[in-house]
Amino acid sequence: MHAPTHRERDHLRFLACGAVDDGKSTLIGRLMAETGSIPDDQLANLVHLSKKFGTTGGNLDYALLLDGLEAEREQGITIDVAYRYFGTPKRAFIVADTPGHEQYTRNMVTGASNAEFAMLLVDAKAGLTKQTLRHSRILSLLGIRRILLAVNKMDLVDCAEAPFAAITEDFRKFVSQLSFDQVDAIPIVARDGDNIVHPSKRMPWYKGPTVLAHLETVPVSTHQREEAARFHVQSVMRTDTGGRGYAGYVSSGAFKKGDQIIVARSGRKSTISRIYVYPSEIDSVETGQAATIELADQVDIGRGDIFAPVDAVPEVADQFAAHVVWLNDNPMLPGRTYSLRIGTHTVAATITALKYGTDIETGEHAAVSTLAINDIGFCNLATTEPIAFDPYAKNRETGAFILVDRQTGATSGAGMADFPLYRASNLVKQNYEIDKGYRAKMKGQRAAVVWFTGLPSAGKSTVLNLVEQKLSRRGIHTYALDGDNLRLGLNRDLGFTEADRVENVRRAGEVARLMVDAGLVVLCAFVSPFRNERRSVRERHDAGEFIEVFVDTPLATCEARDPKGLYAKARAGKAFHVTGIDSPYEPPEHPEIHLRTETGTPDAMAEQVIADLARMGIIAR
């Protein structure tokens, strides 16, 4: 077996995809077997597995070579992405066998993101399915430009030409709206080996190449060689010369000693003085290589920076537009903050606008308020600091990113950057001589946000009202922001869905921030049910400026109070999205102040808040 490396040019990275049971694993297994790429011990194990789990009546079940997980063997499906290597004298291959089930689309996206060619399988009897269309659209979105439609199980349609022609015609009509440069089709029977390595005697009407012959001759993508050079900095270290070395990797292009480079985000220029690839110093590095680079000048550089040629600088922006494939069971919530990882850079990012969702069958754009798992949409994002990127269409490595749920750490979405929102670069924060510190000093106080959170009817507004009265008697300048009051004006357009609740808290947090800037002690009473949004508001303030107060009242007590009748309506099925009933509440994990309302009166709770604010130095003791 020939083991390809990154230095080899004559190799092809591709993925096999399609709906479940379309025969992906069987096809790849047969390709490996018939090219002599399976070691004897694995072949012997395959004989054993075929007898135990096989679905081919005692014959070798090639799918079992790739379905490595026990659950996959028992269910006969592919769950994880399985990478396999095989080769012929003409070419080496790295193939990703990706799952067909819709719920594992994220793994299919993972496999496609590293591929330069795709083999899409279709069941000849079932024809094009919704999953076929979904995978086709994702392949196009991820920049794959050549695709092979392998129409499998031709024996189920008597190996006749007409069904094959009908499927390929339908497929070509569908993909005509997508961005493929070349689409080919081959009729096969993966289980029996028809048109896999050898031409099928059962389909004499087909005169084209076999699957293997096609794979051996399809042009290898040259996009990485055409893309501008990019070096991603992963860490900074001291070298043996005492200088600063920037360790990282080349995602595209090449760099050599003497090259003038620019650090994308800062715009600082310098010249490459030395390049190390352990244990030696070398003259140049190219795509796929890890290295440590020294520069001729002392430049402030950190993890996440990108080196680029001075005449091919990536975009730098804190707002940009992107296509996103949503991969999380929890829906996308515009206004929520996620972690965005692009290259070696991680930054907080908010989806500021979901422009539209894409119908996977028709490609039509539709106005949507959220994306569910496996949905595709186009949105605007804002990051907390500028990032360097390229449009995905120009560079797949520096244009691809993922969104991560900050609470669970789960990958939420795969994104393809499209273009920067240049209007963001026209916005420059104006810093005035009279700032929040000065304004607070004029009032003889310290500005802060005191954020009350808890279930509806927990007593937030009651305690807040008493706290504000006590602060007022101390001469403290305050303002109260209440959830209901904001919904009568600024947030009148918002409902009570999760997406609307996220936006409600985002807007309230921004208003609170402005009032802190005015030097006030801002008292906020919002259910604010999600930790993520409360964390986002906290991050918009300086350390020690955001005080979270958890008004901890059991749900039964809240329901007994129920002055608005919300709980009663929810229990009667007449109201929906009521927190605590059919909408979740995530209590604070480490609030600065924890009020257990069943252990004291509202006035005692207010006195506790006053005492804690004094202890924290927000107000005088």
**Domain boundary assignment for the chain:** 11-220, 227-309, 315-420, 436-616
Least confident of 19-28, 258-267, 609-618: 19-28
Least confident of 23-27, 262-266, 458-462, 476-480: 23-27
Tell me: is residue 454 an annotated ligand-binding position.
yes
More confident residue, 174 or 360: 174
pLDDT for 387 equals 93
pLDDT for 80 equals 57
How far is it, in rounded angstroms, from Cα 145 to Cα 182?
7
The pTM (predicted TM-score) of the whole model is 0.77
Tell me: is residue 458 an annotated ligand-binding position.
yes
Catalytic residue among 50, 113, 412, 528: 528
- Per-residue pLDDT tens over the stretch 73-101: 455 444 456 778 888 888 999 888 776 56
Tell me: is residue 149 an annotated ligand-binding position.
no
Tell me: is residue 459 an annotated ligand-binding position.
yes
Helix boundaries (H) for 311-424: 396-399
Architecture of domain 436-616: 3-Layer(aba) Sandwich (3.40)
CATH superfamily of 227-309: Translation factors (2.40.30.10)
- Per-residue pLDDT tens over the stretch 186-245: 999 998 999 999 999 999 999 999 999 999 999 876 555 568 999 999 999 887 777 789
More confident residue, 34 or 150: 150
Tell me: is residue 461 an annotated ligand-binding position.
yes
Q: Is 425 a catalytic residue?
A: no
pLDDT for 562 equals 85
Place of tokens 């499906």: 77
- Per-residue pLDDT tens over the stretch 113-131: 778 899 999 999 999 998 8
How far is it, in rounded angstroms, from Cα 52 to Cα 47?
9
pLDDT for 319 equals 93
- Residue 596 contacts by C-beta under 8 Å, 6 or more apart in sequence? 552
CATH superfamily of 315-420: Translation factors (2.40.30.10)
Tokens found for residue 110? 């993972």
- Residue 537 contacts by C-beta under 8 Å, 6 or more apart in sequence? 449, 451, 505, 506, 508, 509, 512, 513, 528, 546
- Average pLDDT of every residue of the chain: 87
- One CATH from 2.40.37.20, 3.40.50.300, 3.40.50.720, 3.40.50.261 for 11-220: 3.40.50.300
Rounded percentage of the chain residues whose pLDDT exceeds 70: 89
How far is it, in rounded angstroms, from Cα 296 to Cα 245?
11
Task: Name the DSSP letter for residue 214.
Answer: H
Least confident of 4-13, 217-226, 346-355, 510-519: 4-13
Tell me: is residue 460 an annotated ligand-binding position.
yes
pLDDT at 142 over 90: no
Three-state DSSP at 593 gives: strand
pLDDT for 214 equals 96
pLDDT for 35 equals 87
Whether 227-309 and 436-616 share one fold: the answer is no
How far is it, in rounded angstroms, from Cα 33 to Cα 20?
22
Buried b (16+ CB within 10 A) or exposed e, 51-87: eebbeeeeebbbbbbbbeeeebbeebbbbbbbebebb
